[in-house]
Structure 1
Amino acid sequence: MPAQHNYDHKRELWDTYAESTQETVTDAEAVFRWTQYGDHGPGVELLGKPNSVLEVGCGAGRALAHLAQQGVKATGVDLSPVMVEQTAEKWGPLGVEFICAEIITAFGKRPHHLWAAWFADPVRLFPLIAKRLNPGGVFVFSQPPAIPGAYGPQGMYKGGFAGPAMFTYRYSYTPEVWEGFLSGAGLTDAHVRVLAAPEPGHIGTLIGRAERR
């Protein structure tokens, strides 16, 4: 059975998350990293030398702010109007543009150069990315790796198992399957790997990269 998406429902979930992290956004520093660990893993070099970037599910916008400080035209898309308002207030003075939209529809509106996927079905999202990337553009994404044996859309409730039934989906696959999605969408040089955590036995980071020729 396919994942059942209700975008008003999802927006409410991410608004709740944004409200809970308002202080974090206010105090955030501009920093760029692909993994959940500081000073670990690759950096901006995975993007090449872009003139413009688009981050899908930009959240607190810290990576975009870092790139904007380097002279890159930076745009972020997020489903939550609360998060977009917070990040625009924080990073707008740097020239970062924030758009409140559901990413599947947002990609039909504007071409951009690059990057990151998160809570979206790759079967739908990746072909749109391939279509909208500029020639020579790069698509990079990172997220937690799949739990062994648990593949496809993974349902996630917000706030435990009591209270309003707010939920979303995160998509999890093996690196080989992710590479198949990228190549099947028409992107080239697809490479996906799981980078080990800095401490043995801790959760690693799945990082994928592909290009449009």
Structure 2
Amino acid sequence: MPRPPLTPAEYWDLYKPYRGEGEQPAPEPGRFEWTQFPGHGPGPELLGRPRTVLELGSGEGVDAVHLARRGAQVTGVDFSAFQIERARRWWTNEPNVTFTQADVCDFLVTEATEYDAIYSMWGAVWFTDPEELLPLVAKRLAPGGVFVFSHAEPGPDAHGPQQMRGKWLEGRQRELTVLRWQYTPGRWGDLLKGSGFTEVDARIVAPPGDEPLGTLLVRAGIT
């Protein structure tokens, strides 16, 4: 009998954390990059110099730690219990950073903290309905705060919620059932402005060399 498709929780717990068998060393948090190409595109300067930061979809925590080492107080939220457990283990001695296991929308609804910056780097923004998420993010930004996110450049015929296809786990036993939301920069601008954001800059960062796929990069503020 065929095995059922992966649920989103199974996907994040089983696929994304995979780095090989056994305990793996913590990655080096020396870089903070919005694109998928090392050394290409802007870095943490898009966030300004925030005192408090929230990362949506923090994964293994390397980007949150990078910002914490720059002096920010950082909270990382991730859907995956596995990812959060590993991030806490790797970065247990790092000051100024905490990791919470939660659905990002649930977290934004239940936590009353305001943040100077909220960001998502190829993370939860890509995998959450923006019409639900964006108004919640706007409510958790302090006046003058910024919201920045990035993910892969959308394909010409892939707008709106798209089901991820393919077999991704080691051994190729299971398939995915995970949606990701892909829109043009213009559409993202409309969605953000409709949720109360101002000064929206949504664009495609062209890839280097002969790489075929660029990066959608969006920055918006709250006045």
Q: Are 1:26 and 2:37 an aligned pair? A: no
State the shift of 1:164 in Å.
3.8
Corresponding residue of 1:207: 217
Corresponding residue of 2:207: 197
Structure 1: how far apart are the matches of 2:165 and 2:39? 30
Corresponding residue of 1:11: 9
- Structure (1 or 2) with the greater helix fraction: 1
Runs of 4 or more above 6 Å deviation = 22-25
Question: Which residue identity does 2:201 align to in structure 1?
Answer: H
Q: Are 1:129 and 2:133 an aligned pair? A: no
- Farther off after superposition, 108-117 or 155-164: 155-164
TM-score after normalising by structure 2 = 0.86
Distance verdict in 2 for CA 1:190–1:65, change over 3 Å: same
Q: Secondary structure at the match of 2:180?
A: strand
TM-score after normalising by structure 1 = 0.89
Contact 1:193 / 1:208 at 8 angstroms: preserved in 2? yes
Contact 2:34 / 2:150 at 8 angstroms: preserved in 1? yes
Matched length: 206
The alignment-based identity, stated in percent, is 39
Contact 2:145 / 2:222 at 8 angstroms: preserved in 1? yes
Distance verdict in 2 for CA 1:19–1:130, change over 3 Å: closer
Structure 1: how far apart are the matches of 2:100 and 2:215? 27
Structure 1: how far apart are the matches of 2:183 and 2:24? 30
Give the CA RMSD over aligned residues: 2.1
Q: Are 1:182 and 2:182 an aligned pair? A: no
Q: Are 1:115 and 2:119 an aligned pair? A: yes
Contact 1:18 / 1:80 at 8 angstroms: preserved in 2? no
Question: Which residue identity does 2:25 align to in structure 1?
Answer: T
Runs of at least 5 residues in structure 2 that lack an aligned partner in the other structure? 1-5
